């Protein structure tokens, strides 16, 4: 039985629109035009216990509405949502006791209170024993490197420091389900890598089910094998990340750096046409060759590039996940 079952969820909102024109504010005080916005339109999916799922889509697609319903904050207009045998908005107290949430744009830390005091307040709210809480806090402080921040009020933290403290706060009560909304927003490269490593560790060792919503596709590529794509309130893709790449970016790439200057606008550029290449991009003393692995094997394309070009360094890889999602959004008209 899936840990999360969502079936035919619908949710609409009524939005008031102000009339156009110079006297719009005055006219709007007496007459308002209302518009119905469909945030979710028959959304269905299932997530197994211990999965780390990427939930992606453009702004306004329905991601936040879905997460708020699964968190018990919103009631759907219709449909069914069962998490660990509970309906979130009907059994909210029991549900949130097993739930952790990290919102990149919102804080669960008290703004003017030292971080350590916020952690103590959360211990009382979730009913965690003092010894269990102390052990968990010590572990999280060590892994996330926030021990030196416990005496600092949240308002004095940098964004990267606050996000590490937010993650610790969400995990203090040993949740079995974690919602992560843009958890790496504003973090530098080293902090992102450390956070990703920590999330993988928690997912692997504690079996925490995670739903990750983000626009940072590097996070998706580094953490998630299962991906769901939502657009216009509908689930447009639900499957493996490898399937997504195959469906919307089937080409692989060979990147080569030259030992001597080879310019695509040089008179000899035609001498460097590479058989089997779908397209080539010349830039900064190197070339990126796109090829279809169903047509030509990677090792054969590497051999052709190395034979035809004065190569100093060469590598094979997949297209950037940002390119994949941009291609998907374009094809699906999102």
Please list, residue by residue across 195-219, b when 16 or more beta carbons sit within 10 angstroms of its beta carbon and e when fewer do: bbebbeebbeeeebbbbbbbebbeb
- In a domain? residue 326: no
Instruction: For 145-161, write each residue's pLDDT tens digit.
Output: 899 999 999 999 988 88
Number of domains in the chain: 2
Asked if residue 135 has pLDDT above 90, the reply is yes
Q: Which of 223, 241, 259 is the last residue of a domain?
A: 241
132: domain CATH number? Answer: 3.40.50.300
Same domain for 85 and 212: yes
Work out the pLDDT band at 55, boundaries 50, 70, 90. very high
pLDDT at residue 185 tops 70: yes
Per the domain annotation, does 221 fall within a domain? yes
Q: Of 25 and 177, which is predicted with more confidence?
A: 177
Say whether pLDDT at 167 is over 80: yes
Which CATH number goes with the domain that contains 293?
A: 3.30.70
**Contact status, residue 254 vs residue 302, Cβ threshold 8 Å:** yes
State pLDDT tens for residues 187-199. 778 878 888 888 8
**What is the per-residue pLDDT for 269?**
44
pLDDT tens-digit readout, 242-268? 888 888 878 889 998 887 766 555 544
pLDDT at 267: 41
> Same structural domain for residues 106 and 173?
yes
Whether residue 29 has pLDDT greater than 80: no
Stated as kind and residue range, the H or E segment containing 311 is: strand 311-318
Dihedral angle sign, alpha carbons of residues 91, 92, 96, 101:
positive
Q: Are residues 85 and 35 in the same domain?
A: yes
The residue from 218, 241, 264 where one domain ends is 241
- Does 86 have pLDDT greater than 90? yes
Alpha carbon distances (Å) from 90 to 75, 94, 115, 239: 9, 9, 32, 29
Predicted local distance difference test score (pLDDT) of residue 270:
47
Tell me, yes or no, whether 195 and 119 share the same domain.
Answer: yes
The boundaries of the domain holding residue 278 are 250-318
List of residues 6+ apart from 84 with CB closer than 8 A: 3, 95, 98, 176, 177
Is there a single domain that holds both residue 201 and residue 59? yes
Which has the minimum average pLDDT: 84-88, 262-266, 290-294, 326-330? Answer: 262-266
- Give the pLDDT of residue 329: 73
Please state, in angstroms and as integers, the Cα–Cα distance from residue 249 to each residue in 59, 229, 291, following that order: 22, 15, 11
140 and 274 housed in the same domain:
no
69 and 106, same structural domain?
yes
pLDDT (mean) for 134-143: 91
Distances (CA, A) of 279 to 36, 289, 290: 45, 6, 5
Per-residue pLDDT, averaged over 35-62, amounts to 90
Out of 241, 259, 279, a domain closes at 241
The residue count for the chain: 334
171 and 88 inside one domain: yes
Residue 310 or residue 100, greater confidence: 100
Q: What integer is the mean pLDDT of 47-51?
A: 94
User: Is the model's pLDDT at 219 over the cut of 70?
Assistant: yes
293 and 184 together in one domain: no
Q: What pLDDT score does 94 carry?
A: 92
pLDDT at position 302: 92
Residue 56, SS3 per DSSP: strand
Domain-located, residue 330: no
Specify whether 36 is located in the same domain as 129: yes
218 and 297, same structural domain? no
Q: Are strands 99-103 and 33-47 parallel, antiparallel or unpaired?
A: unpaired
Q: 193 and 302 share a domain?
A: no
In a domain, 148, yes or no: yes
pTM of the full structure:
0.78
pLDDT, tens digit, 9 for 90 and up, residues 200-216: 989 999 999 999 988 77
């Amino acid at each position: 039985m899936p840990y999360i079952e969502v079936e035919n969820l619908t949710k609409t909102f009524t939005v008031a629109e102000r009339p156009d024109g110079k006297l719009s504010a005055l006219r709007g005080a007496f007459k308002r035009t209302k518009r119905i916005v469909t945030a979710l339109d028959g959304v269905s999916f299932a997530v197994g216990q211990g999965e780390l799922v990427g939930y992606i889509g453009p702004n306004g697609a329905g991601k936040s509405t879905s997460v708020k319903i699964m968190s018990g904050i919103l009631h759907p207009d219709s449909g069914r949502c069962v998490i660990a045998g509970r309906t979130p908005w009907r059994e909210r107290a029991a549900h949130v006791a097993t739930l952790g949430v990290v919102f990149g744009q919102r804080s669960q830390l008290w703004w003017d209170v030292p971080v350590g005091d916020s952690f103590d307040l959360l211990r009382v709210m979730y009913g965690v024993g003092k010894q269990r809480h102390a052990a968990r806090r010590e572990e999280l402080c060590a892994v996330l490197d926030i021990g030196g921040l416990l005496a600092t009020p949240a308002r004095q933290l940098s964004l990267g420091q606050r996000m590490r403290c937010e993650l610790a706060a969400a995990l203090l009560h040993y949740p079995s389900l974690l919602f992560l909304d843009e958890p790496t927003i504003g973090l530098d490269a080293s902090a992102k890598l450390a956070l990703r490593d920590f999330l993988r560790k928690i997912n692997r060792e504690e079996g925490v089910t995670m739903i990750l919503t983000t626009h940072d596709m590097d996070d998706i590529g580094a953490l998630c094998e299962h991906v769901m794509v939502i657009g216009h309130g509908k689930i447009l893709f639900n499957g493996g990340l490898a399937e997504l790449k195959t469906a919307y970016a089937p080409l692989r790439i060979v990147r080569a750096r030259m030992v001597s200057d080879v310019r695509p606008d040089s008179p000899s550029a035609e001498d460097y046409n590479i058989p089997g290449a779908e397209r080539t991009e010349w830039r900064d003393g190197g070339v990126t060759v796109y090829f279809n692995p169903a047509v030509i094997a990677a090792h054969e394309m590497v051999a052709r590039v190395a034979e035809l070009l004065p190569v100093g360094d060469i590598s094979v890889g997949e297209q950037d996940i940002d390119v994949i999602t941009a291609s998907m959004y374009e094809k699906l008209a999102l």
